[in-house]
Structure 1
Amino acid sequence: MGSSSLLLFWGYCGLFFWLVFPLESTADDVNECLDTTTCPAYATCTNTLDSYYCTCKRGFLSSNGLTQFRGPGVTCKDIDECSQSSSPCGLHSVCRNLLGRYKCSCLPGFSSPTGNDWIPGNPGHFACTDVDECADPGICPEHATCRNSPGSYSCVCNLGFESSRGNRNIQGPGETCKDIDECSQSSSPCGLHSVCRNLLGRYKCSCLPGFSSPTGNDWIPGNPGHFSCTDVDECADPGICPQHATCHNSPGSYSCVCNLGFESSRGNRNIQGPGETCKDVDECLYMCPSNTTCTNTPGSYFCTCSPGFAPSNGQTSFRDQGVHCRDIDECSQDPSPCGPNSVCTNVLGSYSCSCIGGFQPNPEDSLNFSCKRIPFKCKEDVIPNNEQVQLCQVGAAVEPEYGSFCTLMNATFSVLDDACENRTAEVSLKDTAESLASVLKQTSTWSNFTKEETSALATVVLESVKSSTLAAFLNPSANVSQTVQTEHLEIESKIIKEGCTEKNMTFHLKAKGDKMEITCSTIEESDSAGPTGVAFVSFWGMESFLDESFFQDPQNPLANFQSKLKVKMNSRIVQGIMTGEKKDGFSDPVIYMLENIEPKQEFERPICVSWDTNLEGGRWISSGCVVLEASKTHTVCSCNQMMNLAIIMASGELTMEFSLYLISHVGIIVSLVCLVLAIATFLLCRAIRNHNTYLHLHLCICLFLAKTLFISGVDKTGNQVGCTIIAGFLHYLFLACFFWMLVEAVMLFLMVRNLKVVNYFSSRNIKMWYLCAFGYGLPVVVVAVSASVQPQGYGMHNRCWLNTDRGFIWSFLGPVCAIIMINSILLTWTLCVLRQKLSSVNAEVSTLKDTRLLTLKAFAQLFILGCSWVLGLFQIGPMASIMAYLFTIINSLQGTFIFVIHCLLNRQVREEYRRLITRKTKPSSETQSSGILLSSVPSTSKTG
């Protein structure tokens, strides 16, 4: 070994020895690092020869910012490596700080070869790279394509699909791709004239019938070519339409139209289906005129007139449109085709036959029409549908209780049997009248019959007289005119052959003081082809048992009222007879003048009644005749038929239905109570006491007195003088109500025309006694003038009111209508002035509005009081029932309406009522000017 090597060896040994057995320093060096508290936590202590120093461990930083430090107070705090501007973990990572170190993890969608939760010092190098999620074939649902992106991926539905939320992109778990129905879009993807059929993820296009595409049908997007449908010209095929048809092309279709003169097998010009052909048109359906027979020929036609018609050109057959077939008048032939005793009536293309009066068609002649003499009404024709009458005809023993009835009934039937036994024999009117007079004179026997028996026997008697008279007219040898008079029956008859030379000629027939007038125009309307017979019959004493108890009027024009009429029979029963009488009535009426049994009184109303056998076996009804004239001794009736006639006198009052009666009385009582409350309010309520309430007070007093007098005295007709006085006072009080309304309207108008006057009444321009003179004085003048002109106009037989027969009611309605018209004009003018003031004077708006409210209330008051009397004028015609109810309701509740308008709708009055009910005193500081005062008018200056 050399010297240098030896020296090195000893050097190492010395160092080892020093390290193992250190020599004590000559200066006695202390190792502070042996004390664990020398350096703070997370620090490393380093001893030096003469001292020490502390250094923070990796991942920590001293509180004084020095790398080496010593001394108390300095600590090592953790360094947040993750808060650095450049993350120590790199991109697409998440850095999590730990004590003295940090941890790295990759974001979702990224990965590192070291894995997540990597800590510096661990093996490997941490770096995040993108994860390709699309490598998983099941990552996206069916019909979707996966698209990878840094740290994520997206699923996009393939073309033709959309997500369950209606988007292309899948936006959440559970979403799937469903097929898009491209064909359901508003604009078809296939274009016009096409049919779109949806497929999975795509669609298929085909053209509609009659259209084609160069790509063909069943084209799918992506296939070669561009799909579009164009029209196919089917008419290019010459055999597309049948023979005698022309092809007309149209978009997508075509039509085959038969040529002129041909039609399809379905009867149309157009061919509408396969298999149809064009056939020759049958021109006979429309080419020939009316009343013809058309014969169709191949390619042509000809017309012949129907039987009963002849062509205007005289040719048997024709095609000229100007030719028409004229009716042949068969009745002009001689002899008549209907035969003797007949009437031939020409009709279009034919004729009809009817028999003259007294004849009927012969059913035994089935080959030709012929007429045989008709029997007039006999027993079997006039037997009424009555059980007792049927018992009389059985032939067996009649029960004792029906003995008298059947005796008279069979005696009446024997008159008809005599006339019907030999129809060619002459019937004597005298014998007929005498036979029936014996039946009529047994008045005491008739009085024992029931009502049904009396009506049945009367019907048979009347029909027997008519049938016997008609039987007498059938015999040509009968006298032209004859009069038969008996004690109980009188007949005057005329046979008119050539007597009707002028249409306005009138025939007069008279029997027992009664008369009948019939004109030639009425006689010419008779269905009798031969001479016309007319007769007038008057029965004496028959009215005593066929009296007013049989009166029944189902067509009463006063159906809305209970007819509590006193009726009595006041004439003899008469009968008009004419051969060939029309059942539907005559154009010109028949006039009957009947003598009154008792003089007609002024309060009585005559009613012309006729005997109706179809109503309960026989009843008097008022239909068919009207009263033309009525005097004390005679009544003139105008009837549209020959009938059995009599006069019934009606008297008494027409009382209202119970419902109207109840409404009227309850309403008036309620109105009287309301009027008392209103009068008390106007007198005692100081808050509203002014000249306005003074006017309302007088109106309410007049209306209260009028209503009280009306409900208590309008029906007091027993004393004529007292009734007249009541009617006069009612006339005066109701007029006073309207004149006080006129005063109020005038005052309102004058007030708005003088808006600059602070208090119009306090200006003493108008004295209150002037208003009283006007409100109470003018009605006195009207009543005085009316009473002097027509004193008998006050009071009627059924109520104490103004007489309506001679127009005297207009002495009340005339002033009322005039006041309604004047008030309407004044109040409308007042509202117009107020409207102008409201738009120009802002300082007076509140009071002007109050005045306008007063005017509107005056309008309402005018309507309430005036409307009821106007409605009274319309209680006629089909609206009578409705008008009666409206009149009753409004008229009876007038006081209630006034109380509501002037008291309940006034705020101050409501406060006074409330204070009176709750018994509270009014505060002294409360103003009394908040109400609506007619006398308070705004001034041009303001007060503080």
Structure 2
Amino acid sequence: MGSSSLLLFWGYCGLFFWVIFPLESMAVDVNECLDTTTCPAYATCTNTLDSYYCTCKRGFLSSNGLTQFRGPGVTCKDIDECSQSSSRCGPHSVCRNLLGRYKCSCFPGFSSPTGNDWIPGNPDDFFCTDVDECTDPGICPKHATCHNSPGSYSCVCNLGFESSSGNRNIQGPGETCEDVDECADPGICPEHATCHNSPGSYSCVCNLGFESSSGNRNIQGPGETCEDVDECLHMCPSNAMCTNTPGSYFCTCSPGFAPSNGKLSFTEQGVHCRDIDECSQGPSPCGPNSVCTNALGSYSCSCIGGFQPNPEGSLNFSCKRIPFKCKEDVIPNNEQVQLCQVGAAVEPEHGSFCTLINATFSVLDDACENRTAEVSLKNTAESLSSVLKQTSTWSNFTKEETSALATVVLESVKSSTLAAFLNPSANVSQTVRAEHLEIESKIIKEGCTEENMTFHLKAQGDEMKIACSIIEESDSTGPTGVAFVSFWGMESFLDESFFQDPQTPLANFQSKLKMKMNSRIVQGIMTGEKKDGFSYPVIYTLENIEPKQEFESPICVSWDTNLEGGRWMSSGCVVLEASKTHTVCSCNRMMNLAIIMASGELTMEFSLYLISHVGIIISLVCLVLAIATFLLCRAIRNHNTYLHLHLCICLFLAKTLFIIGVDKTDNQMGCAIIAGFLHYLFLACFFWMLVEAVMLFLMVRNLKVVNYFSSRNIKMWYLCAFGYGLPVVVVAVSASVQPQGYGMHNRCWLNIDRGFIWSFLGPVCAIIMINSILLTWTLCVLRQKLSSVNSEVSTFKDTRLLTLKAFAQLFILGCSWVLGLFQIGPMASIMAYLFTIINSLQGAFIFVIHCLLNRQVREEYRRLFTKKIKPSSETQSSGILLSSNPSTSKTG
């Protein structure tokens, strides 16, 4: 068989099989599920190749119990899922069966995020959570608090309120909380208290005159009581006695006082207990020849002049006349005077002194020998003038003898003048002129006839004014005698060497004051003079021996016999007016008076002088140490160190020149030159501080730029030109505008009379203000940068430290000059001490700030004292050029 025949054979065979078998497989299947009655209701029909089967839908179960069934008679019954499980829907919920399914709903008071009537198959899971009804602010009535519970809530009236229904827990509309009136209970408050009802509460307030045991005004609760207030601690006025009663009190004035309302006892406010003037009542409680002095709540008795208290045992105060003493009142308690008494052995060197002493006493013996005889004031003045006439003898006495003899002469004139006033037949007014003294006296018999009358007494160009108010204060029983005495030539013996100011007790310090006696010695005398002084001043007008110069300051001095036998003191009188020819003094009593002209700083205390010089010496030593540290300590050498160095050099030169030349006032031109150099050096200190503040500010503004200063070729000599050049300009302009402003009569400094001091204070105040602004700005910039970088970066920390030290340095140098502006008024003394202490110790403060508080400097000092050599790796030199990297040294 050929190949073609073979192929044809196999083709027929294939066609045979394709025709025979497909025909059998193409028999058509019947789909029973197309008939809707094939399966019962609520069933699903599933067709198969030769049959079908039925399946009940979800939620249904076949009546025969089979999952797949067919044929008639089988039905699908609904499954009750809710009966199968009591927790089908979860807690706090209810399950309701439906045809072929079920639904879940929450109990009242609960809710589900899916909502009620949830059916399986819906999204999310069904669960019930409690509903917090208390979140609704209106769920409960006013004055009630809501309390939530699972599935419900309740309202409880607040404390002090009760429900309108009387129930504790209320719910629903119509219920209200009404206030409980606790005050209806009479025992709610303690005794002596009043109950005050308030919405929801109450308070008990103690009645007037009582206070609570706890100290609170409103009390509540057990344990609180109302106790009686002892009003006597603060309710009665001064000078009154208080009697406390339960809930009240009453006041009665103390003996010697009377109430302003006239009632014996009182409780009203505003009533005062006024002093009873027993002395105005008649008759006087002190008796005749006495003076009654009213006192607060009492009075005192004293005898008038010429009388003394009767020591005899009398129940009432009385005065008896005392004999007039003349010589006994004059003899001072002095050893030299005691040696000159009659009958005592007198040494040859005291012969001349005792001769004048005894001559003075003989004058007193003649004047006071006969108490009833008229004393001739003229004869007495001429006799005492002969004692003053012996000038050659006075010049040979010691200082103690001179003061003792002067005291005897002054007191003798006073005593003999008072003796002349004892005789009422004496002339009403008289003027006695002797060779070395002049006396004008006046007897006032009927007191002052006109209000505000003033008596004028003159002697040798000097004058005393005494007002009628002073005459009326006299203790004299009869006519009042006043006298004014002016001594000529006595001032040459009792000169300025006898002056002793309690503010300048050391003689070596007083020697720096240029003083001179510039008036005659005068004396005021009055009968019945009060020892404690007058209520009104006595005015003395003294003629200057030499015209007063502008730089001189007059001092009114009085002779104090209780100080070293006799010394001039500045207490008791003040200068009212000073002209070239006269000086007016106001004194609180009659005294021996003179005028001393001082051309130095008399008011400066020695303690300030000592503090100033000791402080400056300490500062100079500290400045030398600081300068040496800045030059030799290479570990801290940078641009800041060189700024500190120039500041210390200027301050050192200024203080050295100050302590050496500030008081060199003998040469006017030299003093002006010294003042000019001081002006320049102190200004240079402040301009160098300005340079430092500007450099710190620029450094902080450019911390991210490496070698900021050197990159811009800012050399040290530029800064020197600013720090040293601008002060030259200020001084040159000041000197050209007012050349006489440099140097004063008492110190080599800027003249303050015409405001020239502001040529220094003006630039200083401006620099202090600029530096304060720059340094504050620097700290603000640093604070901003530190908030954005690591706070431990040494550059920021060192710069901040430099700024803070610059602030301290500005305060130290600037504060002292600012304090100098406030040395006036009641705080002048305190400001003077602060100014002196801070200004003199400026160098010490700078040494402490820039050296002792510097860690690297302390290490260098430690190595120096322990003789240890610093490793070369730790040293560095920056040369003269300025570096902007402060982190290379912990300086400030």
TM-score in terms of structure 2 length: 0.60
SS of the residue aligned with 2:695?
Answer: helix
SS of the residue aligned with 1:255?
Answer: strand
- Deviations along 1:405-453, one digit per CA (max 9) or x if unpaired, are 4443333223333343333333332222122112221222333334443
SS of the residue aligned with 2:403?
Answer: helix
- Give the structure 2 partner of residue 758 of structure 1: 706
Residues 101-110 or 796-805, more deviating: 101-110
Distance 2:346 2:576 in 1: 47
User: Which 5+ residue runs of structure 1 have no aligned equivalent?
Assistant: 180-231
SS of the residue aligned with 1:178?
Answer: strand
After TM superposition, give the deviation of residue 539 of structure 1 in Å: 0.8
SS of the residue aligned with 2:559?
Answer: strand
Change (3 A) 1:820 1:637: same
After TM superposition, give the deviation of residue 466 of structure 1 in Å: 1.3
Change (3 A) 1:558 1:526: farther
Distance 1:111 1:633 in 2: 112
After TM superposition, give the deviation of residue 322 of structure 1 in Å: 17
The answer to whether the 8 Å contact 1:844/1:938 transfers is no
After TM superposition, give the deviation of residue 646 of structure 1 in Å: 1.7
SS of the residue aligned with 1:843?
Answer: coil
Change (3 A) 1:108 1:7: farther
Change (3 A) 1:298 1:715: closer
Distance 2:553 2:526 in 1: 30
After TM superposition, give the deviation of residue 592 of structure 1 in Å: 1.9
Distance 2:701 2:373 in 1: 97
Change (3 A) 1:161 1:619: same
Distance 2:610 2:125 in 1: 113
After TM superposition, give the deviation of residue 740 of structure 1 in Å: 1.8
After TM superposition, give the deviation of residue 709 of structure 1 in Å: 3.5
- Deviations along 1:771-801, one digit per CA (max 9) or x if unpaired, are 5565344434443454456533322345422
After TM superposition, give the deviation of residue 512 of structure 1 in Å: 1.1
SS of the residue aligned with 1:422?
Answer: coil
After TM superposition, give the deviation of residue 721 of structure 1 in Å: 0.6
The answer to whether the 8 Å contact 1:908/1:931 transfers is no
Change (3 A) 1:838 1:618: same
Distance 1:828 1:115 in 2: 66
- Give the structure 2 partner of residue 457 of structure 1: 405
The answer to whether the 8 Å contact 1:356/1:530 transfers is no
The answer to whether the 8 Å contact 1:312/1:323 transfers is yes
- Deviations along 1:210-250, one digit per CA (max 9) or x if unpaired, are xxxxxxxxxxxxxxxxxxxxxx9999999999999999999
After TM superposition, give the deviation of residue 73 of structure 1 in Å: 93
Change (3 A) 1:5 1:614: farther
The answer to whether the 8 Å contact 2:240/2:251 transfers is yes
After TM superposition, give the deviation of residue 830 of structure 1 in Å: 1.8
TM-score in terms of structure 1 length: 0.57
Distance 1:519 1:843 in 2: 79
- In our comparison, the structure showing a higher alpha carbon Rg is 1
Change (3 A) 1:30 1:885: closer
After TM superposition, give the deviation of residue 686 of structure 1 in Å: 8.4
- Deviations along 1:523-556, one digit per CA (max 9) or x if unpaired, are 3332235443221111111222233343333454
Distance 1:238 1:40 in 2: 87
Distance 1:879 1:943 in 2: 39
After TM superposition, give the deviation of residue 469 of structure 1 in Å: 2.0
Two-structure CA RMSD over aligned residues (Å): 19.0
Distance 1:134 1:275 in 2: 37
Change (3 A) 1:169 1:930: farther
Distance 2:143 2:232 in 1: 72
SS of the residue aligned with 1:105?
Answer: strand
The answer to whether the 8 Å contact 1:755/1:938 transfers is no
After TM superposition, give the deviation of residue 609 of structure 1 in Å: 2.1
SS of the residue aligned with 2:791?
Answer: helix
- Deviations along 1:76-130, one digit per CA (max 9) or x if unpaired, are 9999999999999999999999999999999999999999999999999999999
Distance 2:811 2:493 in 1: 54
- Give the structure 2 partner of residue 775 of structure 1: 723
- Give the structure 2 partner of residue 17 of structure 1: 17
After TM superposition, give the deviation of residue 165 of structure 1 in Å: 67
After TM superposition, give the deviation of residue 578 of structure 1 in Å: 1.6
- State the structure with bigger RCO (CA 8 A, min sep 6), 1 or 2: 2
Change (3 A) 1:325 1:797: closer
Q: How many residues align?
A: 892
Distance 1:67 1:729 in 2: 124
The answer to whether the 8 Å contact 1:561/1:656 transfers is no
After TM superposition, give the deviation of residue 296 of structure 1 in Å: 21
Distance 1:563 1:507 in 2: 40
The answer to whether the 8 Å contact 1:156/1:170 transfers is yes
- Give the structure 2 partner of residue 286 of structure 1: 234
Question: Structure 2 residue aligned with 1:388, among 336, 339, 347?
Answer: 336
After TM superposition, give the deviation of residue 847 of structure 1 in Å: 1.9
Change (3 A) 1:426 1:931: same
After TM superposition, give the deviation of residue 7 of structure 1 in Å: 122
Distance 1:529 1:280 in 2: 58
The answer to whether the 8 Å contact 1:906/1:932 transfers is no
- Deviations along 1:888-939, one digit per CA (max 9) or x if unpaired, are 7765665565566556766788899999999999999999799999853799
Change (3 A) 1:670 1:366: closer
Residues 695-704 or 677-686, more deviating: 677-686
Distance 2:240 2:157 in 1: 80
The answer to whether the 8 Å contact 1:561/1:655 transfers is no
SS of the residue aligned with 1:649?
Answer: strand
Change (3 A) 1:551 1:82: same
Change (3 A) 1:323 1:106: closer
User: Which 5+ residue runs of structure 2 have no aligned equivalent?
Assistant: none
Change (3 A) 1:82 1:699: same
Change (3 A) 1:418 1:97: farther
After TM superposition, give the deviation of residue 45 of structure 1 in Å: 96
Residues 78-87 or 929-938, more deviating: 78-87
- Deviations along 1:824-871, one digit per CA (max 9) or x if unpaired, are 343233223212211123499432222112212212332343355456
Distance 1:841 1:124 in 2: 52
After TM superposition, give the deviation of residue 583 of structure 1 in Å: 1.3
The answer to whether the 8 Å contact 2:485/2:522 transfers is yes
The answer to whether the 8 Å contact 1:346/1:352 transfers is yes
After TM superposition, give the deviation of residue 520 of structure 1 in Å: 2.8
The answer to whether the 8 Å contact 1:688/1:931 transfers is no
Change (3 A) 1:33 1:936: closer
Distance 1:705 1:352 in 2: 67
The answer to whether the 8 Å contact 1:161/1:168 transfers is no
